[in-house]
């Protein structure tokens, strides 16, 4: 299948700060992830397609103007603060964002960043924009008639809300792809198979009935993102019933994952969408350094076949999945099985 990616731009974001239980560690969201995933996809016979600049319009269809301005300019403003760190990292975490919009760079970092796992460096905005361009181009390619496309988005996106970054994510590429697909399709389903709950995606569509969000993930009672991803979150207002969370116990393997996926796919079929976005995190792998779930490489192929069996025009958007020996095989296991399944030969 066609791969959408602009490696030259998307590689530049290189976060240096990651706090784990208060201790500073190297960020696992490294540029090397992109190289590993791209090399694997190309090696398995998938081909790189033209990914071009699509402007801010598709990003603005999902995110607020003040947030986009923040992402674009904050590093430059931050760098002017005497003694400031090299990366933009919030040191205030407001729990009420309704009262006022702060004018200071430090205040805005607190307002727009949910946690410390989304540091913004000098080249971050370039990578963020091009990661979104990859999602837009893949979705437009599918609207053009190809039944499937793979958007190799990096940095990832599913923890980003309309005006808040978090968990390595800035622009919600999955939501951007779904919004592009909505140009043609009245209803679009998102199935998020990342290890972590897709809280930003859920937040963006929580009050809407036109985009169904289904997320499978490690139970947030004891796992990031903690405050979202529980079964009781079903949507609100007109969106009530259009959000389905399927938390899994820590360490769950293929059978538990596939069982939950079947429940999610039943919900998708009843929704009768015109198109699908798969938020493809590969960090549910048994070998992923996050160690939350235990999906095997063969398991990713089985997940892909079931998703492909929906027979929907599909955009596969890369979310998490961190460096480990199995990372490339997990991706190609998924993409190959999806392609075979969608072509009806499996
Ligand atoms: Zn994840």
Identify the pLDDT of residue 99. Answer: 74
Instruction: Output the pLDDT for position 268.
Output: 98
Q: How far is the CA of 255 from the centre of ligand 1 (A)?
A: 20
pLDDT, residue 167, reads 98
168 token code pair: 């390595």
- Active-site option among 141, 159, 185, 217: 159
Q: Measure the CA dihedral 86/87/91/93, to 10°.
A: 170
Question: For residue 66, which of 34, 14, 101, 100 has the smallest C-alpha distance?
Answer: 101
What confidence score (pLDDT) does residue 346 get? Answer: 46
CA–CA separation, 233 and 174 (whole Å): 19
Q: What is the pLDDT along the chain (346 residues), one digit of tens a residue?
A: 999 999 999 999 999 989 999 999 999 999 999 999 999 999 999 999 999 999 999 999 999 999 999 999 999 999 999 999 999 999 998 887 777 899 999 999 999 999 999 999 999 999 999 999 999 999 999 999 999 999 999 999 999 999 999 999 999 999 999 999 999 999 999 999 999 999 999 999 999 999 999 999 999 999 999 999 999 999 999 999 999 999 999 999 999 999 999 999 999 999 999 999 999 999 999 999 999 999 999 999 999 999 999 999 999 999 999 999 999 999 999 999 999 988 775 4
Catalytic residue flag (residue 207): no
Ligand 1 geometric centre to CA of 80 (Å): 33
Ligand 1 ion local residues (Cβ < 5 A): 194-196, 281, 283, 320
pTM to 2 decimal places: 0.98
Q: Are strands 18-20 and 23-25 parallel, antiparallel or unpaired?
A: antiparallel
- Report how far ligand 1's centroid is from the alpha carbon of 150 (Å): 18
On whether the CB atoms of residues 39 and 328 are closer than 8 A, the answer is: yes
Instruction: Yes or no: say if 315 and 279 are a contact pair by the CB < 8 Å rule.
Output: no
For residue 272 the two structure tokens come to: 């009768």
Ligand 1: centre distance to CA 225 (Å): 10
Residue 342 has a pLDDT of 83
Asked if 222 and 292 touch (Cβ cutoff 8 Å), the reply is no
* Cα–ligand 1 centroid distance for 315 (angstroms): 18
Cα separations (Å) of 255 from 214, 293, 301, 304? 18, 12, 13, 14
């Amino acid at each position: 299948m066609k791969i959408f990616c602009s490696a030259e731009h998307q590689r530049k974001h290189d976060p240096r700060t990651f706090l784990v239980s208060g201790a500073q560690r190297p960020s696992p969201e490294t540029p090397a992830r992109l190289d590993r995933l791209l090399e694997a996809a190309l090696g398995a016979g998938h081909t790189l397609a033209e990914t071009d600049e699509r402007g801010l319009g598709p990003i603005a269809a999902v995110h607020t103007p003040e947030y986009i301005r923040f992402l674009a300019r904050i590093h430059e403003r931050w760098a002017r603060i005497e003694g400031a760190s090299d990366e933009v990292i919030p040191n205030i975490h407001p729990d009420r964002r309704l009262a006022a919009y702060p004018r200071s760079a430090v205040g805005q970092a607190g307002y727009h960043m949910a946690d410390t796992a989304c540091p913004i460096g000098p080249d971050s905005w370039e990578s963020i924009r091009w990661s979104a361009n990859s999602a837009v181009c893949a979705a437009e390619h599918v609207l053009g008639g190809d039944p499937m496309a793979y958007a190799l988005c990096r940095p990832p996106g599913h923890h980003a809300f309309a005006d808040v970054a978090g968990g390595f994510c800035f622009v919600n590429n999955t939501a951007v792809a779904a919004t592009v697909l909505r140009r043609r399709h009245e209803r679009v389903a998102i199935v998020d198979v990342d290890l972590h709950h897709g809280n930003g995606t859920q937040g963006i569509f929580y009050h809407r009935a036109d985009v169904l969000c289904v997320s499978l993930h490690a139970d947030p009672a004891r796992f990031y993102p903690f405050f979202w991803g529980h079964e009781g979150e079903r949507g609100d207002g007109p969106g009530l019933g259009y959000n389905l969370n399927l938390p899994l116990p820590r360490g769950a393997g293929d059978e538990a994952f596939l069982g939950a996926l079947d429940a999610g796919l039943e919900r998708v079929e009843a929704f009768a969408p015109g198109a699908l976005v798969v938020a493809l995190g590969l960090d549910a792998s048994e070998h992923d350094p996050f160690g939350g779930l235990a999906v095997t490489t063969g398991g990713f192929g089985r997940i892909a076949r079931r998703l492909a069996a929906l027979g929907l025009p599909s955009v596969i958007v890369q979310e998490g999945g961190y460096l480990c020996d199995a990372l490339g095989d997990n991706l190609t296991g998924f993409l190959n099985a999806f392609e075979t399944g969608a072509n009806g030969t499996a």
